[in-house]
Amino acid sequence: MNSLIQWNLNGFYSKIIDLKLLVNNLKPSIICLQETNLKTNHNATVNNYQGYFKERQTNPNRASGGVAILVKNNIKSSPIPINSELEVIATRIQLHHEITICNIYLPDSIIFSYQQITNIIKQLPSPYILVGDFNSRNTNWGCNHTDPRGKIIEKIIDDENITLLNNGTFTRHNSSKGTFSAIDLSLASPSISPYLSWEVKTDYFNSDHWPILIKIHHRNSLQTPYNTNKWNLRNPNWTLYSDIIDKTMSENQILNNELNKDDIDTIVKQFTSIITEAAHKSIGKTIIHPKKTPVPWWSKDCNNAIKNYKKALNRYKKTKTIPDHINLKKAKALSRRIIKHQKAESWKKLINDLTPNTPIKEAWKKIRLIEGIKFNDTPQTLSKGDKTYFSSLEKAEALAEIFEKNSSDENYSPEFRNSKSKNETDNPITFSKEENHPINLPINVQELYDALYKCNLKNSTGHDEIPYIFIKQLPINAISILLKIYNLIWEKRTFPSSWKIAIIIPILKPNKDRHEVTSYRPISLICTLSKLLEKIVSKRLYWTLKQTNFISDQQF
């Protein structure tokens, strides 16, 4: 599910703290801002978002008005030119299907016509979502009265068969007059409106307008869960883990008898299952929630201040009395003061903690806290030429096709391939067939432990979900059985089918378009049991090739 935030924040930089909080908490895919108050040709940025801006042109030296659309980097987007003298901007985005997002600001100081608004709507490719601060009052969407501007918008909604998403909730609080209104409107074409939900977020109050959250529910699509299950390695019971494996493996007849190469898949499956089942009983799994962009200065005092403000707001909405309005203004001012103070104190502490003796790793961690984390989210669409892929299966197939093509010998010229083949034929690598030659000896336990010692315990696992730490904690009899499996593979020239399966992760190449299939390179996550054997064999091969002078001294 994607979401859109619309908000008249009344000053991009003056409300940047609230904007970052909003992004951190709600994680919107699209943000539509009104009254950005940026000077002409000024480039404002928000981490992880592509920005489209239109500044007010009447006075280039004065920062006022203006609109912006921010789209997450993992969503392909492009600007749509709108021919209008009004403050309006539009983009075309690709989710599970293409949607047009249009953002408009109609200040009280300008007079607009029916034709001007309908002219904008006619330029928007369907389906579209049109949001903004219309400064138009009408009892149909929650205002206390209807003005001429509201009548124009009402007629446009009826004539153009547009859906109004507002549900009558107030979107603005004029604290000086103590009045509420609903002048921030959300409109949508009929084809997409059934898949949209609308909600005012009163938690963010530093502007006289509240942000509006629009959730976009995709048609006929399964939602990908963001939470993942991982081994809970904070407090593992390694003694219980080892005891369970020791007992289970000693009772397993297949693993304790002489191993047969024809049973290699069964052998590896049972060995793997014993480890994972023991881990479930002694370690367990925990749900890993998606990390939020850290806001190092946020505290419980900030949360309590916002709660008190919301209580005062709800009370004033019910009573509309002067004392409750005064209390609301006090709660709002106190909240601002607490948040501002908390941020200042946090920055001071963050900077004061940095000394000449601070480790580099810790210093960079604090710098990233200040800058905010840049996330490389998976693109919601991928393109190759004129074709666009929307579903996960389509994107996976497209990436697999390009990875296969990039790894093919067909990328080399016929001359190079012929030369390579001839060179390999004329200069073959021959290994000794003597049983006592070091490369032909059975793998011993010292080689296994040496390779295991050099493994990075933080490396990702393959599809069997066995990390290196599980192998390190195996009891002696399990290590002996693992050694038997490795020697069966090494001596009988067999290999488990499950170890041939890899999880392929596409990695974006530097400075490449994340929405293009050709912008990615693959890395493979294979089973750690397989990688451990590869490390043992690799060390033997390297030693042998060095001894036979097949590797040059200049080879890195």
* Intra-chain end-to-end CA distance of the chain, in Å: 48
Is residue 556 pLDDT above 80, yes or no? Answer: no
pLDDT of 36: 93
Least confident of 15-24, 50-59, 295-304: 295-304
Q: Does the pLDDT value for residue 420 go beyond 80?
A: yes
Cα(73)–Cα(477) distance, integer angstroms = 51
Between the CA of residue 543 and those of 292, 429, 442, 488, what are the distances in Å? Answer: 47, 14, 16, 22
Mean pLDDT to the nearest integer, 493-506: 95
For the ranges 98-107, 351-360, 427-436, 531-540, the lowest mean pLDDT is seen at 427-436
For the segment 127-139, what is each residue's pLDDT rounded down to a tens digit?
999 999 999 999 9
DSSP assignment of 59-80? -TTS----EEEEEETTSEEEEE
Identify the residue with better confidence: 58 or 478: 478
pLDDT in tens, 78-117: 999 999 999 999 999 998 889 999 999 999 989 999 999 9
Lowest mean pLDDT of 57-61, 164-168, 183-187, 191-195, name the range: 57-61
Integer Cα distance of 337 and 146 in angstroms: 36
Task: Dig out the tokens for 379 from the structure.
Answer: 């693109």
Q: What is the pLDDT of residue 546?
A: 80
Q: In which band, very low, low, confident or very high, does the pLDDT at 415 lie, cut at 50, 70 and 90?
A: very high
At the fourth CATH level, the homologous superfamily of domain 2-216 is Endonuclease/exonuclease/phosphatase (3.60.10.10)
Which of 215-224, 243-252, 302-311, 374-383 shows the lowest per-residue confidence on average (mean pLDDT)? 215-224
Q: List the one residue out of 246, 6, 41 whose CA is nearest residue 130.
A: 6
Identify the sign of the CA torsion 201, 206, 208, 209: negative
Q: What is the pTM of this model?
A: 0.73
Instruction: Report residue 330 as tokens.
Output: 């006090």
The domain locations on the chain are 2-216, 247-289+381-548, 300-367
Which of helix, strand or coil describes residue 203? coil
Residue of higher predicted confidence among 268 and 386: 268
pLDDT given at position 291: 54
Helix count (H) and strand count (E) of the chain?
15, 20
Tokens encoding 82: 């709108």
pLDDT at 176 over 60: yes
Confidence of residue 63 (pLDDT cuts 50, 70, 90): confident
Average pLDDT, the chain: 88
Q: What share of the chain is helix, strand, coil (3-state, %, to 5)?
A: 40, 20, 40
Taking the alpha carbons of 133, 137, 138, 139 in that order, is the dihedral positive or negative?
positive
As a whole-number percent, the residues of the chain with pLDDT over 70 amount to: 92
Residue 293 confidence (pLDDT): 47
DSSP result, 114-165: HHHHHHHHHTSPSSEEEEEE-----GGGT-SS--HHHHHHHHHHHHTTPEE-
* DSSP states along 460-483: PP-TT---HHHHHT--HHHHHHHH
pLDDT band at residue 376 using 50, 70 and 90 as cut-offs: low
Q: Name the residue with higher pLDDT: 340 or 81.
A: 81
More confident residue, 7 or 511: 7
